[in-house]
Amino acid sequence: MIKILSAEQIRRWDLYTIKNEPISSFDLMERASEAFVKLLLTKINHRPNVDVVCGPGNNGGDGVAIARLLIENGLKVNCHLIDFGVKLSEDCRKSYRKYLNISQVNIVKQSKELDLSGELIIDAVFGSGLSRPATGLAAEIIQLINQSSAKTVSVDMPSGLFADKVNLTGRIVEADWTITFQVPKLSFLTPESGFYVGEWSAVDIGLDPSFLITENSDYSIFEKSDIDRSLFIRKKYDHKGKYGRVLMVVGSLGKIGAAYLSSKAALKSGTGLLTVHIPKVGYGPLQTSLPEAMVSLDSEEEFITHVDNVDAFDAIGIGPGLGTNPKTGKILKSLFTSFNKPMAIDADALNLIALDKELIDLVPKGSVLTPHIGEFNRLFGECDNGLERIEKVKSIAIEKQLVIVLKGAHTVIATPDGKVHFNSTGNSGMATAGCGDVLTGIISAFIARGGDTSTSAKVGVCIHGWAGDLAEKTVGKTALMASDLLSALPKVFSNVESSDFI
């Protein structure tokens, strides 16, 4: 789990390391620059001409050090130091003097003096401590960087971007890649500000790990290595009842495919016994395509109007392909009040709740809601930006004692304890019909095992994205379909389950 810290927390982490290692702030800057260059060189398959654009602060000091290290590695570098009419920071001054031993620096006082003719730009104008929008000369410099056809790599942060909030006024560097120091910043993980970050990588610069252990943060990134393998251990004398009884309430005329995808995902995720409640129209297709599932038929031909005898189930997954017929909507209240165990609620079930918002207070505590942004907006109202939306997701999870999975590029899992986890797996090829249905089935299967639903959601989302990544390697992003995730799940679980005895 990677903790996400604020700019102020990272500043204090730097100071803690400087004091307790001990190390000088300048030597820490050198170490950070070395880590940056080491990673950068692994991605360069030829020797491009490089422009390094530096500001007067410590981020600029990093840039000057990076320019020097690139020259020492045989690259042709032009280092540009922007003169904003302020003094250089002490460490930037030291880095500048050290650079002058091997080359000259282009001092830029006007934007017309900046010649960006290289194939690669290193952006080191401003770092994570920026507190006001980039205007004036800074905005002009950033505009020149953005107008260049060169690839741009930002040092720690794209210049002009704030670390802890969305403020898109002023100019911001549109990086192709951001190499950030130690941990990612919160603004990397929202659609609006993440656009400027491009791809990102975090490099270890040797900050003291003891600081991170004791420092609190409500935000983290959930990684594949965080999956508890013990959740998937199957013992020799176990039986199918041990792995949960799941009821999927899914499907309507024209949407039986969603019923199939979510139900098969539940089975592929280890459900012991699966019952699928569908309208009559889906009986033939589902019974034929998924013989491992038991089928419960509604009295209605084209949509669902009742669900009875739910006490025997350990979890219910509801929503994929359900439709929004008013008669279907009426079953939600009876389900929420008669089933006192957590549920996985998705798609049209969320849309039905949005039509009758009093239903949200009847949802069993600990249930997992999996909206995309549009569904979330219909349920809880729109937000001005991604960070505001994350805060709303967090507050709703606490208030309603629910797990909210807000699907997106970095899916957000907000838990009732006030923690927010960003998923680290998945790719843009998964932005296609049916992938959310697969997720509902996976999470339903995990809930049915009786574990903590927060863990079920975090692990389910991670495994879902992992399956998407494996599928993308086989079929590519453009051709990826939800059924490809089903095909990839066995390999994911094989990877999770394989471990040494000790």
Q: Point out the annotated binding site.
A: 58-62, 123, 127-133, 156, 159, 258, 321, 372, 407-411, 436-437
Q: Is 381 helix (H, G, I), strand (E, B) or coil?
A: coil
Instruction: Give Cβ neighbours of residue 236 (< 8 Å, ≥ 6 apart).
Output: none
Q: Pick from 197, 187, 28: which is nearest to 123 by CA?
A: 197
Q: Is the dihedral of CA 444, 449, 450, 453 positive or negative?
A: negative
Half-sphere exposure for 112 (CA within 13 Å, toward CB): 0
| Feature table: binding site for AMP | 407-411, 436
| Amino acid sitting at position 186 | L
| Feature table: binding site for K(+) | 59, 123, 159
Dig out the tokens for 483 from the structure. 């059924």
Query: Could you give the dihedral angle defined by the CA atoms of residues 219, 225, 230 and 233, in that order, rounded to the nearest 10 degrees?
Result: 130
Sheet holding 50-54, edge to edge: 105-108, 77-82, 50-54, 120-124, 151-155, 177-181, 199-203
Dig out the tokens for 268 from the structure. 């592929």
Q: Pick from 278, 162, 201: which is nearest to 42 by CA?
A: 201
- 219 forms bridges with which residues in the sheet? 420
The reply to whether omega before 326 is within 30° of 0 (cis) is no
Cβ atoms < 10 Å from Cβ of 111: 16
Dig out the tokens for 85 from the structure. 């009419």
Contact 173, 158 (CB under 8 A): yes
| Feature table: binding site for (6S)-NADPHX | 58-62, 127-133, 156, 258, 321, 372, 437
Contact 343, 368 (CB under 8 A): yes
Contact 61, 129 (CB under 8 A): no
Report residue 330: phi and psi, to 5°: -70, -20
On the 0-12 / 13-18 / 19+ scale of CB atoms within 10 A, 317 is: buried
Longest dimension (CA), the chain: 84
